Structures are given as C-alpha cells and as structure tokens.
Amino acid sequence: MKPQDVIAGKTSLWIFGYGSLVWKPDFKYKRSQVGYIQGYKRRFWHGDNFHRGNDELPGRVVTGSEVEESLKYLNVRETVCGGYVTKMVDFFPEGEEQQPPVQALVYIATTENALYLGPASSEAIGVQIAVCRGKTGHNLEYLLRLAEFMRSSCPHVEDHHLFSIEAAALSVASYLIAAQ
C-alpha cells in the first residue's frame, strides 16, 4: 500500500504505533490515543541494521502534521529503511468501548524481509539488544523506552514477551558494566 493510496480522499489518518512510534514519532500529529488492535502481537523478531544495529550486529525491533508529509516520512522510515509493509486495521481507542473502532494504518514486519530474525528465547534477544547500537542509538534504549511507555500508559497490559526481554537485557547490561 503506497502513501498516496492511504490518503486518497482523507483529511486525517490514524496510525497505530507499537514500537518507537509510541515514544518517538518524529512527525507532527494532532493527538495521541492509547488503544489496541486485534489479531497481532508485538514481537522482537525484526532486525535493524540502521537505527539500532549495523550489518555485523543487527539490533532487534518490534514488528504515525500533515497526512501526506507524515506518510512520506514514515514510508522511508518504516518501509524503505525498516522493511515493513502497511495494512489498514481496526483500532480500538482505550476508554471508548461504546464507540466503533476507527481505521488505522499499521506497519507490519514480514518473514520475507531480509532482516527478519524470527523467534528466539528472551535471553538470546536480550543479549542481542544489550550489545547492539545503530545510527539512532543503543538498541537497549529502544527496549527500555518501550517498556517504560507500556508501564506508564498501559499499566493493565501484561506483555510477558517485552518485559522478559527487558529483564534479560538489563541483566546482560549490568554484567557488561561490572566487567569494565
């Protein structure tokens, strides 16, 4: 789905963020709303050899002004550099159970992508995240900011995958600091 196809005939667009878009959107938006989509799970199965890693040590990341300007930016950030595809999904804003869902754009990593790393244990993913760094920063920062957002904005959500990887990565990081 191309940006021009998404915005055809629209004056606004919802974008569902589940990774760095929740704490670092890097584009203008009118409002932010916590909510959920159905049928997907956030997993650290996608490699990143630019923002949070490099070709030798790819980091792991999870697989949103003006609509056209934002979509052009996101198309480069998420699809050209990131290897994601776009889909329109039903977004259910938190606290609005009586309201119908709204259509939102979401970026999904696919197994066909060369940077798809697939499943691994929380410990293995934690080690990889603890040691990787890319042009945007440490992979650990990405993980910690996402976990912080989930704790503060979605305290009722139990995300065992995210929090077990956080614990493993922090354990590795503290070991690396102590070993210096």
- Whether the Cβ atoms of residue 34 and residue 154 lie closer than 8 Å to each other: yes
The verdict on whether 78 is a catalytic residue reads yes
Cα 30 to Cα 66: distance, rounded to the nearest angstrom: 9
**Cα 115 to Cα 82: distance, rounded to the nearest angstrom:** 9
**DSSP H/E element including 92:** strand 84-93
Instruction: Return the amino acid letter for 146.
Output: L
Q: Which of 69, 78, 97, 141 is catalytic?
A: 78
DSSP 47-68: EESSSS--SSS-EEE-----HH
Q: Evaluate whether 17 touches 25 at the Cβ level (below 8 Å).
A: yes
Residue showing tokens 């929740």: 22
Placement of tokens 């614990």 in the chain: 167
- Positions marked active-site: 78
